[in-house]
Structure 1
Amino acid sequence: MWQYTKRYPKLLALNFFFVFGFILIELGLPTLLGQLIDHGVEPKDLNRIYHYGWLMVAINLIGLIGLIGLAYTGSKLSTAIIRDMRDDIFKHVVRFSHTEYGDFGVSSLITRTTNDAFQVMTFLQMVLRTGFMTPLMFIASGVMIVRTAPQLSWVVFLAVPVLLLGVVVIGRFSEPLSDQQQANLDGVNLTLREILSGIRVIRAFVREKFFANRFAKANDQYANSSIKLFTLMAVAQPGFSFIFNIVFAIILWLGAVQIDAGHLDVGSLIAFIEYIFHVLFSFMLFASVFMMYPRAAVSAYRIQKVLAAQSEIDENVGGVTVTQQRGEISFDHVTFAYPGHSEAPILRDVSFSAHQGETVAFIGSTGSGKSTLIQLLPRFFDVNEGQITIDGVAVPDFQLRNLRQRIGFIPQKALLFTGTIADNLRYGNPEATEDQLWAALNIAEAADFVAELPDQLNTYLSEGGSNLSGGQKQRLAIARAIVREPEIFIFDDSFSALDYATDARLRKNLAPITRDKTTLIVAQRVGTIMHADRIVVLNEGHVAAIGTHRELLANSPLYRDIAESQLSKEELAE
């Protein structure tokens, strides 16, 4: 927290200025009140009463300005700090590899960016408004107590250790409860995200009640941990008030005895009580900060874990950005296993090459490693063994940003973002003109349905493009990659939502623009890839065969079985 706070030295200095001003004013009021009673009220000196009265009014007005200034600087500082913190979390998280996303979980990352940051902000606001003020107020009030009535001060200083012990005990118990509360909040967000993402499936299987119970269970766990934490905090307030009342009662009784014996003036006793109030109130504020600390510390630790996590994928900022060739791809004895599953590699000893202007397709049974293979090219993961090269350069040796700019990646699940169709198409090329957008839409067989929309390119898409059909989203995703004009196209089963006629037209449209590009296609349908220059048949992570459609029909039993299950005898004979 201090690393962020020290970024704003001027605001911090201003905060200290208002703190010192407020303390001087708060301690000046009891002194003036005592003087007013002893030198104005008791001798019935009206001029003195007016004099001290107006001084107190003036000091109160100055104190009001100090309070406003303290509130302003505290709020501005804390909100600026949390803004910076959230920005840093986001900038750091977007550089994570798939491994780190899996380790933290998307729901937990959202909680850490929102709720945990909010807990830290609440604590910082308390510290900036009262945390700096309370120890100074406590010390200054303690000095004034000893100066005003040293014979009564022992009562106050006897109560302080008891209060301090209570604060330490509450802080000790609140930390594990805070940790549990935040973990349970992660669970609520995870359950809610899963339910909202899968609401159509839930409705289709009439499982609303089941998932309502699941959410209620997660919500109850969060509520129970919160109740325990808030109950602990709630006990502190009446406990401290009880001790305060005892101290005030003892002081009043002893003060009355001292006044009766002529050892203490009434005004001095009233001023003394005011100083006691400031001591005890300062302690209570300090206790509030101290009790909030474990909760903020848990949140800060969770944020720090995110900021300290390093991506497994090195961005290699000083890496290669220029190559002599364009689109030459080589997989050389590549073996890959997902993190934590090294004993069961998804891909084993995979080797093949793809040259500029060629289309290389991948086919195989579900789970054979097709999608995993093409995700290694843009370095969503790094290989365990072997090497992948583009234009003769090993993939890790490229500057990561430059590497991915060379690739037009169309994922298996077409994902569109909130905004207009034009905004989505320009993700890969912000400078693209409307003519370029329409050209890409024509190639992707999407121009007709976009032209029929009321606002055409300016049509607003809801989250995930949920106001479009699956086929429409897939075609827009393809158009988005075309607008980018990359060296390498990767289609990860990107034609699955299209009917055969649209699929055929789209592939025919792609032929001219991919003539000098390298194209990799993952597909389930033989009809989509039968005209590829080479087809790689994968089986349980191994390369079972490589060849053209005709060569594989003749030499690969696995490929022939797949083809016979999808194509008619006439199509097989062509």
Structure 2
Amino acid sequence: MKLILKYTWRYKKYLLLSVLGVLGFVCIQMGLPTLLKYVINDALMGENRILLLQLVLIMLGVVIVGISGEICMSYANSRIASNVIRDIRSDIFIKTQSFSHGEYNEFSVSGLITSTTSDAYQIMLFVQNMLRSATITPIMTITGFVLIIKNNPQMLWTILATVPILLLGILFINLFSRRYSKAQQSGLDKINRILREGLSGLRVIRAFGNENFQEQRFSEVNDEYCIVSKKAFRLTALAQPGFYFLFNTIITLVIWFGSKAIGENTLDVGALSATIEYIFHILFSFLMLALLFTMYPRASVSAERIQRILDCDVMISENLEEGKTETRESGTIVFENVTFQYPDAEEPMLKNISFTVNKGETVAFIGSTGSGKSTLIQLIPRMYDINEGRILVDGIDVRDFNIKALRNRIGFIPQKAQLFTGTIADNLRLGNPKASQTEIEKAAQIAQASDFIEEKTYKYEEKLSEGGGNLSGGQKQRLAIARAIVKNPEIYIFDDSFSALDYATDLNLRTQLRKEITNATVLIVAQRVGTIRHADKIIVLDEGKIVAWGTHEELLKTSNIYYDIAISQLSEEELA
């Protein structure tokens, strides 16, 4: 509830307007029955047409005030609710942008999507109803009690007897709804996860003819969600007729005892009519409050899930204010006895890694699958934080950097190129929004991407589908490389970024890189020896340790691991 109130309280002006609107709404709901009493008793029974006309005009004025108040209330509540959901979604997105891989594993991507969409929407619905019910109910109840005491105090017992029953019903619903709400949101996470896996892995699923298995997986979690939802809806469905039954019972009792009082001349018709209306509006406001409480458990669960995300302590501190942004050196990287272990792993992935890369050098990493190559280079831009040792970039420990300043120095090209919806030019300008058309065209030429771009209908303004789905794997990799070149960083990190390229394109691209990028430091992770054989230094990893380093020629003589990799890929002439 604290989360909901925190975001709602930001809009005090709209809250004030909502309260004023509620007063207008109560004015019409309670004012008309009071005036109706005088219409019946004094104007109609007294056959006073002038008084009748006066009362009708007053009632018309009350209606205008009431309608104006209801419009103001609806407008203010809608603005607050829409602003609250906007703020919550923005804060979740901003928070998740600071998450490391550890946090994403903790919350899961499907869970974060559910919190940003469904959970935030549940809070919006609750806020809309809360602003209406939580303000109308107390004002309507107090006004109604005062008017009943003034006009017909003998009927007060009917309300006093009903309120405890309503409160017990609300408490009962709240207890059971909360359990079902947690299960619903958890089930929605599972549905999102399987749906996301099914859509992103559709080609693999079709290739293995595994559609039936995926359908079965989805059906199981969908049916589970359906069962829980039915239980929650049954509870709500039983609550509403129960409240209406109590509601109508009280009105019947009021009419019964009121009729007897009229027969005994202790109550007039106008007072009874007004009393029925007062009780009707009091009970109806309590019914709205009861419905609000049926929504509260699910909103509470959603708020807890969102609060957990917003309160999460990020493993990697961004140092946005106190972090260093300026350095004396440029393009140097030093690993000093670095050990790294994944949060859920049983043993370190990297053990006692030490090496130095000087400005302008090209250093490559090679080794068997699982040797820690990709993990090692992901530590430089702080995708993860190390457990022991130090990593220095330009003479500064990466943990002491302002993280934006650190990553601005690095052009990171992952193996799986991630492109975004938009034009080719938009994607190439991702790291440098101010890049000119000439700069992006030159970068595309270096990355061997200009040929296929020029073949497109709209060239650099060609629209890319989600994830670059209308491009081949090699085309996406070349655009990702071009994007890093446009950024013009001092350090390039290629994480097996040439794997989807044919040998000719790979050779031409690396040749152009050597010509155009002369001052930058280049780190390359690759499986192909041909891709890294001209590097200034090649580091061989095995089971998370550096087992050898040197040039291509040196390693062929000194490292059995490197020699075995090379002999499986190169011809005898290339090995000679």
Superposition TM-score, scaled by structure 1 size: 0.98
- Aligned match of 1:10 in 6, 9, 13? 13
Question: Which residue is equivalent to 1:480?
Answer: 483
Aligned equivalents of 2:211 and 2:60: distance in 1?
64
- Give yes or no for the alignment of 1:302 onto 2:299: no
- Give yes or no for the alignment of 1:330 onto 2:334: yes
Q: Which runs of 5+ in 2 are unaligned?
A: none
Structure 2 contact 27–66 (Cα < 8 Å) conserved: no
Deviates more, 1:414-423 or 1:38-47: 38-47
Structure 2 contact 411–491 (Cα < 8 Å) conserved: yes
Question: Which residue is equivalent to 2:344?
Answer: 340
- Give yes or no for the alignment of 1:492 onto 2:495: yes
Matches within 5 A, 1:159-558: 159-317=162-320, 318-341=322-345, 343-558=346-561
- Give yes or no for the alignment of 1:137 onto 2:124: no
- Aligned match of 2:82 in 67, 79, 82? 79
Give the drift of 1:367.
Answer: 0.6
Aligned equivalents of 1:496 and 1:389: distance in 2?
28
Question: Which residue is equivalent to 1:107?
Answer: 110
AA aligned to 1:455 is Y
Give the drift of 1:45.
Answer: 2.5
Aligned equivalents of 2:425 and 2:303: distance in 1?
40
Aligned equivalents of 2:289 and 2:6: distance in 1?
22
Question: Which residue is equivalent to 2:42?
Answer: 39
Give the drift of 1:43.
Answer: 2.3
1:454-502 CA-partner distances (Å, limit 9, x unpaired): 1000000000000000000000000000011100000000000001111
Q: Percent of aligned positions with the same letter in both sequences?
A: 53
Aligned equivalents of 1:188 and 1:399: distance in 2?
38
Give the drift of 1:41.
Answer: 1.9
1:393-441 CA-partner distances (Å, limit 9, x unpaired): 1111111100000001000101110000000000111111111111101
Q: How many residues align?
A: 572
Deviates more, 1:51-60 or 1:325-334: 51-60
Aligned equivalents of 1:179 and 1:132: distance in 2?
28
Structure 2 contact 92–116 (Cα < 8 Å) conserved: yes
Aligned equivalents of 1:515 and 1:353: distance in 2?
18
The secondary structure found in structure 2 opposite 1:412 is: coil
Give the drift of 1:185.
Answer: 0.6
Deviates more, 1:518-527 or 1:215-224: 215-224
Structure 1 contact 135–286 (Cα < 8 Å) conserved: no
Give the drift of 1:24.
Answer: 2.4
Give the drift of 1:117.
Answer: 0.5
Structure 2 contact 27–62 (Cα < 8 Å) conserved: no
Give the drift of 1:515.
Answer: 1.9
The secondary structure found in structure 2 opposite 1:381 is: coil
Give the drift of 1:129.
Answer: 2.1
Question: Which residue is equivalent to 1:51?
Answer: 54
Structure 1 contact 119–296 (Cα < 8 Å) conserved: yes
Aligned equivalents of 2:325 and 2:102: distance in 1?
25
1:278-327 CA-partner distances (Å, limit 9, x unpaired): 11101101111122111111111111111101211111122221111111
Structure 2 contact 428–486 (Cα < 8 Å) conserved: yes
Aligned equivalents of 1:416 and 1:252: distance in 2?
71
- Give yes or no for the alignment of 1:97 onto 2:100: yes
Give the drift of 1:47.
Answer: 2.7
Aligned equivalents of 1:145 and 1:214: distance in 2?
60
Root-mean-square deviation (Å): 1.0
Aligned equivalents of 1:106 and 1:55: distance in 2?
59
Structure 1 contact 421–459 (Cα < 8 Å) conserved: yes
Give the drift of 1:46.
Answer: 2.7
Aligned equivalents of 1:480 and 1:164: distance in 2?
62
Superposition TM-score, scaled by structure 2 size: 0.98
1:236-294 CA-partner distances (Å, limit 9, x unpaired): 11001111121111111111111111100011001010011011101101111122111
Structure 1 contact 336–346 (Cα < 8 Å) conserved: yes
Structure 2 contact 137–289 (Cα < 8 Å) conserved: yes
Q: Which runs of 4+ in 1 moved over 6 A?
A: none
Structure 1 contact 11–73 (Cα < 8 Å) conserved: yes
Structure 2 contact 444–479 (Cα < 8 Å) conserved: yes
Structure 1 contact 96–310 (Cα < 8 Å) conserved: no
Aligned equivalents of 2:57 and 2:277: distance in 1?
19
The secondary structure found in structure 1 opposite 2:568 is: helix
The secondary structure found in structure 2 opposite 1:521 is: strand
Give the drift of 1:62.
Answer: 2.2
AA aligned to 2:330 is R
AA aligned to 1:336 is F
Question: Which residue is equivalent to 1:571?
Answer: 574
Aligned equivalents of 2:512 and 2:114: distance in 1?
45
The secondary structure found in structure 2 opposite 1:26 is: helix
Aligned equivalents of 2:274 and 2:394: distance in 1?
84
The secondary structure found in structure 2 opposite 1:383 is: coil
Give the drift of 1:182.
Answer: 0.7
Structure 2 contact 27–65 (Cα < 8 Å) conserved: no
AA aligned to 1:328 is T
The secondary structure found in structure 1 opposite 2:154 is: coil
- Give yes or no for the alignment of 1:123 onto 2:123: no
AA aligned to 2:58 is L
